[in-house]
Amino acid sequence: MLELGKYADAILSSWGATLALLIALILVTWRRSVQVKKALHTAEKRASGNG
């Protein structure tokens, strides 16, 4: 087990906050990308169907 000594709280909280924010940013970006791609696909299909 890694020994972090008296700075363990500071190290773990700063790394935890960083990883949580980065993962949230990646998930938000990915989710929005999938949603918009799907909506555009549906709209294009509808538009081509209408002629």
Partner 1 sequence: MSLWEFANPVRFMALSGKVLPWVIGLTALTLIPGLIWGFFFTPEAVNFGNSVKIIYVHVPSAMMAINIWVMMLVTSLIWIVRRHHVSVRAAKAAALIGVTMTVIALITGAIWGEPMWGTYWAWDPRLTSFLILFLFYLGYMALWAAIENPDTAADLTSVLCIVGSVFALLSRYAVNFWNQGLHQGASLSMDKEEHVADVYYLPLLLCLAGFVLLFIALVLIRTRTELRLVRLHRLEIRERMKDA
Where on the chain is the footprint of partner 1 (CB under 8 A)?
Answer: 2-8, 10-11, 13-15, 17-18, 21-22, 24-26, 28-30, 32-33, 36-37, 39-40, 43-44, 46-47, 50
Q: Which amino acid is at 45?
A: K
Q: How far is the CB of 19 from partner 1 (least distance, A)?
A: 8
Q: How far is the CB of 39 from partner 1 (least distance, A)?
A: 6
Q: How far is the CB of 6 from partner 1 (least distance, A)?
A: 7
Query: Which position has the token pair 């890694």?
Result: 2
Query: Which position has the token pair 């790394």?
Result: 15
Q: Which segments of 1-51 does DSSP mark as H helices, in order? A: 8-50
Give the separation between CA 12 and CA 47, rounded to whole angstroms: 52
